[in-house]
Amino acid sequence: MITCLVTESHKLSLYSENSFFNHTIEACNQLPDNILEGICESNSEIVSIFKHSELLVVDTNNKASYAITANALRAGISVLTPNLIYFSSDQIQELITIAHEIGVDFGYLPNTNFNLPKTNAPIIMDCYRESGKELNTENVSLQIASDLAYLLSAVKADFRKVRVYWIPLYNQPFKTLKLIIDFNDNSVITYLVKGKNETGKITVELITDELDRSFEIVDCSSQPEKFRQIVIQNIDYYINQRKMLYPSTQVLKSKQIVEVAIKKVC
């Protein structure tokens, strides 16, 4: 499988020494608009690399990554990107529709390499996150969506109800915010986030008929060596399984849950 990385100069060190990439395209200010959107000459070497790749890992700024992802999918290239979490649910749905029509795969590259154990429904999952960022609607929605993007791998059913509680009621930043998500298979996820010192991890308790275990899931985005392991893990999984470890439909569900919650807060 021919793999290609599209990223920016300051992010190259995150992916260095990664033998899974046959090619690397270094994005500059004009690259996404003038090259990967098809405006430049068709015999460009970079365009040739782009069109002949089978799996593209896209890690650029949010606006560029959406354009690059959409054009890659239309060109019949499967895409894996950490930027997916920054797109709206409507944007993700549009990209999923393109991928489905073309017959390619589209997945999320998370900042953790932790895989929740496979379980039977129903499940009860209690999650606790301390955040070092100010807890306003923008930061909270992004943090929750990012966490749910991989936590939802334990739940296959659609969500049926989202409840949200927060303190203080009429001012931001929040001191704390709690989500309760009910699913059609009687599973439930509770998610509590507090504004304290950044710990870089989320604590999860998972309860089913078969197990009762607690996990500490670490954010590896600031640890290049561990992040490279995540990249390798996700690419290797796709090469061997021909499906994404974290499919875009899972991130879509995550964003939809968060958007429902934020509407209630606002």
Q: Which of 188-192, 252-256, 261-265 has the lowest mean pLDDT?
A: 261-265
* 105, 69 contact by CB (below 8 A): no
Could you write out the DSSP letters of every residue in 131-196? ESS---HHHHHHHHHHHHHHHGGG--SPEEEEEEEEESSSSSS-SEEEEEEEETTS-EEEEEEEES
pLDDT of 39 above 50: no
pLDDT at 250: 95
pLDDT of 257 above 70: yes
Q: Which of 85-89, 120-124, 170-174 has the lowest mean pLDDT?
A: 170-174
**Tens of pLDDT along 129-183?**
988 788 899 999 999 999 999 999 999 899 999 999 999 988 888 999 999 999 9
Which band of pLDDT confidence, cut at 50, 70 and 90, is reported for residue 28? low
Which band of pLDDT confidence, cut at 50, 70 and 90, is reported for residue 18? low
Between the alpha carbon of residue 134 and those of residues 94, 145, 203, the distances in Å are 31, 16, 20
φ, ψ for residue 219 (rounded to 5)? -80, 120
Residue range 182-207: average pLDDT? 89
pLDDT at 36: 55
pLDDT at 148: 96
pLDDT at 40: 45
Question: In the chain, pLDDT over 90 holds for what percent of residues?
Answer: 59
**Tens of pLDDT along 228-248?**
889 999 999 999 999 999 999
pLDDT at 151: 94
Domains, the chain:
3-108 (3.40.50.720), 124-219 (3.30.360.10)
pLDDT at 171: 86
